[in-house]
Amino acid sequence: MGDRPLIYAGLFLFVALVTLPVWQGIAAQSSTVGPELKAPAHKKQCVAPRAYMREAHMELLMAWRDGKVRKHERHYTAADGTVYNVSLTGTCLTQCHGSKEKFCDRCHEYAGVSAPNCWGCHTSPPAEPGGVAAVAAGGMR
């Protein structure tokens, strides 16, 4: 009879220890959330809707490349009528997303995608692109 409190205490400790990873997961909360991708401050929309870009940005990039290199299509007209210069470095990175490290690599690393082989030939703007940083700073004032 006198052992009961001790047994309950032991059981409680056991259950607490066994389920510890679950509690840690709940406390950390971030375990299943991907890297937060900052949208450029001065743009509301990518060249195509967000859901499409998430799924098919690689196909769009290849279509851009083939169009420009093989058919001399230097401009891309988005669904909303905006015309963009076809350029991985000049448009995607320099105008909006900044360096590949901060944008492309972060997500690929998180998703376990091996880094696409683009940067042996194409360049990425430096890690702190003046344009994007300046716009962000402007927004703070």
Return phi, psi of residue 116, to 5°.
Answer: -65, 145
State which of residues 46, 94, 96, 97 lies at the interface with ligand HEC (CB under 6 A).
97
Q: Closer to ligand HEC at the Cβ: 59 or 80?
A: 59
What span, in angstroms and rounded, lies between the C-alpha atoms of 39 and 55?
A: 17
Q: Does the protein bind ligand HEC through residue 118 (CB under 6 A)?
A: yes
What span, in angstroms and rounded, lies between the C-alpha atoms of 109 and 101?
A: 10
Number of residues that bind ligand HEC (CB under 6 A): 27
Least distance from ligand HEC to the Cβ atom of residue 63, Å: 8
Which spans in the chain are helix H? 4-18, 20-28, 50-71, 106-111, 130-140
Residues lying near ligand HEC in the complex (CB under 6 A): 37, 54, 57-58, 61, 64-65, 68-69, 86-88, 92, 97, 100, 103-104, 107-108, 111, 113, 116-118, 120-122
